[in-house]
Structure 1
């Protein structure tokens, strides 16, 4: 259980690094006239993602489920793959990535990197991590609750984001990628 706790702490520290990047990038976007959408669901998203980390720890420490090697190692591989995809998204979007929905007027939508293959690749990472991280140590209650709550949240989030991205000009001059923000 100690190694699982260390894994959750490492993911938590990674989330704090994301928030530092997000805050810097939000300031960059606002300085260029960025417009934010979806502020009402943002706090829910923060609470839900914090709940994933806390819930997984609490469940493992209270229930003390056994580590199942086939499940655990497979889920750890998925967690690592989700992290790689998330950081591919972050580096592809550059200054425009942040945890909020902020669109900078006049910029085109990103269609390179993982965005060549799908509109919201970071949400794939979130979904995979949401069930895989708790299942590394058989915390199936947390995995199930997060997955269900996250499905509801993502339905709202993606609708808000798509509406914001639709407002972007398709005829914008070439330049930095647009704000396809993700969490």
Structure 2
């Protein structure tokens, strides 16, 4: 027969507190879900993941209760005090997260037509503060009762579940330009922890570098990045001009037949129109290559590598300006290679770049971007 000593009462009281907290979160989430289904036409992204979460947390509580009551031990007072402080901070962050997301806080991962993006509080700095504190709680609560088996096994499993959940959630949210613009360069929570999560996913980092010595070689190369516009002299005679990037690279994550975390980086000084004076003005006066040596285009994804034509919204970063613009491209496959060619349009004014026109020649603001790359 178990004697209900004061430490055991404290231990089970703490477990009961967290059980009630979790149940209250389920109630809040269900209330929010009903509102989102009604007003935002929400759809659940991954029902299997939601079921896994329910089973996982239920088993965690069962394991914690059994192991803690079998051991009937608490940490030394000093260690316990430190853990209490950490858990108290976690509770504050959890409430902060719920307050910032308001009715958009849910346990399920939902896809919304027009989500309201929270960019205040901790969401100024990280994408998922709530997931971080869940990880800390899964470590610290069992640690408080020396339930080391529960702590180790369930924390390990949580990496798998969390990796899948973040993948599903960000795939849904990154479709919205407002989310991409604010969160694309934000950390998910703490970088090294997320790296551990990624370790369980079948992702393969790739980098393709494309370099040519001059304009003519870049023009003839199978993989190219081209830009073109029009110059009108005295308002009468219009001529087209083009240029190529002699040095650009593509970084991406390859997962089966999808690309993720796509980023195209172009060395500004490699932009070549085959006219020295024009290039010098472009590099130094227009693009300020010394201060901003690269321009980038990025898309978190995923991008399906199925044959056919697609359109995605990429984030273009030129100098310190970010703009979301549609990019249309076609994927085809030849042997073991993937061929991608497409186009986009960028305006100088929208990118905050000065007008390169001179008194006798007006340069069209809109530039056409064309590309063709071979991936493997």
The question of a shared fold, defined as TM-score above 0.5 by the shorter chain, is answered with yes
User: Conserved in 2, the CA contact under 8 Å of 1:37 and 1:101?
Assistant: yes
Residue from 6, 11, 21 that aligns with 1:14: 21
Residue from 2, 5, 10 that aligns with 1:3: 10
Matched position secondary structure for 1:170 = helix
1:154 corresponds to 2:194: no
C-alpha displacement at 1:64, in angstroms? 2.8
Matched position secondary structure for 1:110 = coil
Runs of 4+ in structure 1 off by over 4 angstroms are none
1:61 corresponds to 2:69: yes
Match of 1:23 in 2: 30
User: Conserved in 1, the CA contact under 8 Å of 2:74 and 2:144?
Assistant: no
C-alpha displacement at 1:18, in angstroms? 0.6
Task: Please give the per-residue CA displacement for 1:29-81, whole angstroms capped at 9, x wherever unaligned.
Answer: 10021122021111111121122222222111112335322322212221221
Residue from 135, 138, 147 that aligns with 2:143: 135
111-120 vs 69-78, which moves further: 69-78
Match of 1:178 in 2: none
More strand by share: 2
Structure number with larger C-alpha Rg = 2
1:4 to 1:66, Cα distance in 2 relative to 1, 3 A: closer
Matched position secondary structure for 2:110 = strand
User: Conserved in 2, the CA contact under 8 Å of 1:108 and 1:169?
Assistant: no
1:91 corresponds to 2:99: yes
Match of 1:100 in 2: 108
Match of 2:56 in 1: 48
Q: Distance in 2 between matches of 1:27 and 1:20?
A: 11
Structure 1: runs of 5+ lacking an equivalent: 172-183
Q: Which has the higher contact order (CA 8 A, sep 6+)?
A: 1
Structure 2: runs of 5+ lacking an equivalent: 1-7, 180-376
Residue from 109, 116, 124 that aligns with 1:116: 124
User: Conserved in 2, the CA contact under 8 Å of 1:36 and 1:100?
Assistant: yes
- The two structures have a TM-score, normalised by structure 2, of 0.44
Task: Please give the per-residue CA displacement for 1:2-53, whole angstroms capped at 9, x wherever unaligned.
Answer: 1110101011101111111100100011002112202111111112112222
User: Conserved in 2, the CA contact under 8 Å of 1:103 and 1:168?
Assistant: no
More helix by share: 1
1:165 corresponds to 2:173: yes
- The two structures have a TM-score, normalised by structure 1, of 0.87
Q: Distance in 2 between matches of 1:103 and 1:95?
A: 14
C-alpha displacement at 1:129, in angstroms? 0.5
Task: Please give the per-residue CA displacement for 1:117-159, whole angstroms capped at 9, x wherever unaligned.
Answer: 1001100110010100111121111111111010110010000
31-40 vs 46-55, which moves further: 46-55
Count the aligned residue pairs: 171
> RMSD over aligned Cα, in angstroms?
1.5
